Every structure is written in structure tokens, then in C-alpha cells.
Amino acid sequence: MQRFDIQNIFASFSLDSTIDVENLSKEFTKSIYDPQLSPSLEIRDDEHGIVFRVFNTGQVTCLGGKSENEVRSGIRTFLEKLKQKNYIISTDVKVEISNYVATLNFGKRIRMWKAAYFLKGSKYNCHRLPWLIYESEKPKVLFHIFENGKIICTGAQNRREILAAFKALKTQLKENSLWY
């Protein structure tokens, strides 16, 4: 099996207290806050390649990390900054990682119309989008399949699910002669 690359990890956590995001936006130089566009404050962490979205409720989402360690390290750094600025007391939060985005190149061209027929529930309209959308049942992930053999997998909960999803897709492509 070819090696897949993690492109993005989506995680979330709660600060267990409300946050004045308007005031917080003044504390971070790399932040964007426009309440007419979004109720959240966006804070960029270039060191870890992560974007945090902070809501008034204290809910925080983060995306952009390429490994769990990178995400958790970025979250620790972010929480320490909040603590230094007296926005929170505890840096002990329960982080929930809920989505991985991974890519893989099978190195073979995909027969798109045939794949649309054999991959049950898939959607393909070459006049609108250059990829086929396929939602696998087990594991429950969404694939974007390109004719050149590149695949994007979203919705996996961990690396094992990504590997299982790519293996299952490879089996279907091979058994149905969907690539060349």
C-alpha cells in the first residue's frame, strides 16, 4: 500500500467558560474578528500551522495540523498564551480529534465513468466537477477521486481508519478494473 499523507486534522475543545472574543482579538496580532461575517475569532498559529476559531461560548475549534502531536502541541501553546493573558485559569482541556484529511496517489489512472457505476452511491458529473465523490460505508469516510489516481479522504477519525479506507477503496478499484 502506498503511503498516505495527512493534510489536515480538525480538533475541538471547550474552555469551560465564556470568552469575550472582541477583547481577545486585540491580544493576538494574527487574529481576524468580524462579527458580521462570523461569530468566531480566528487566530493563526504559524509555528504549528494551525488556525483556532474561538467562540463566545468558550468552544474552540482548530484545524491545519498535520499530526496529532502537532495539534496537541499547538493547543498547549495556545492555552498557555490565554492563561498568560488571564483569559483562562486551567490549561487542562479535553481535546476531541474528529476529522482527518489525507491524500494518496495510487499512481494509476481511474476509469471515472466505470467507477461511478461500480462504487455504489458515488456522484460524478465531469461537466461540473473534475472528481468523483464516493462515500464509503466502512469505514464511514468521503473520497474525492481524481482521474489521475489522486485521492482525498475526509472524515476519518484516526490513522487506522484512513489506512482501512484506502485499502478498501484499492480493493474495489482493483477487483472492478477501475484503473489502468
Q: What is the mean pLDDT of residues 99-114?
A: 96
The domain boundary, picked from 43, 69, 98, lies at 98
Query: What pLDDT is stored for residue 88 in this prediction?
Result: 81
Same domain, 56 and 123: no
Report the helix count and the strand count for the chain, using DSSP H and E. Answer: 4, 9
Same domain, 42 and 59: yes
The domain boundary, picked from 68, 98, 128, lies at 98
Query: What pLDDT is stored for residue 2 in this prediction?
Result: 75
Query: What's the grid cell of residue 46?
Result: 504559524
Q: What is the pTM of this model?
A: 0.86
Mean pLDDT of the chain: 94
Taken in order 88, 91, 94, 95, is the CA torsion positive or negative? positive
Q: Using alpha carbons only, what angle is made at residue 95 by residues 90 and 98, rounded to the nearest 5 degrees?
A: 160
Task: Indicate whether 1 belongs to any domain.
Answer: no
Same domain, 85 and 142: no
Give the model confidence (pLDDT) of 48-96 as tens digits: 999 999 999 999 999 999 999 999 999 999 999 999 999 887 788 999 9
Same domain, 24 and 89: yes
The domain boundary, picked from 38, 72, 98, lies at 98
CA distances from 50 to 44, 86, 114, 125, 164 (A): 6, 22, 39, 33, 26
Query: What's the grid cell of residue 100?
Result: 482527518
Q: What percent of the chain has pLDDT over 90?
A: 87
Query: What pLDDT is stored for residue 172 in this prediction?
Result: 95
Same domain, 81 and 111: no
**98 — pLDDT class (breaks 50, 70, 90):** very high
Query: What pLDDT is stored for residue 1 in this prediction?
Result: 64
For residue 23, the enclosing domain spans 10-98
Query: What pLDDT is stored for residue 16 in this prediction?
Result: 87
Query: What pLDDT is stored for residue 90 in this prediction?
Result: 79
When divided into structural domains, the chain yields a total of 2
Same domain, 117 and 152: yes
Task: Indicate whether 137 belongs to any domain.
Answer: yes
Task: Indicate whether 133 belongs to any domain.
Answer: yes
Residue 59, CB-side half-sphere exposure with 13 Å CA sphere:
8
Task: Indicate whether 5 belongs to any domain.
Answer: no
Give the model confidence (pLDDT) of 3-22 as tens digits: 999 999 999 999 988 999 99
Same domain, 89 and 16: yes
Domain CATH for 18: 3.30.310.10
**177 — pLDDT class (breaks 50, 70, 90):** very high
Evaluate if residue 126 carries a pLDDT over 90: no
Q: What is the mean pLDDT of residues 152-171?
A: 96
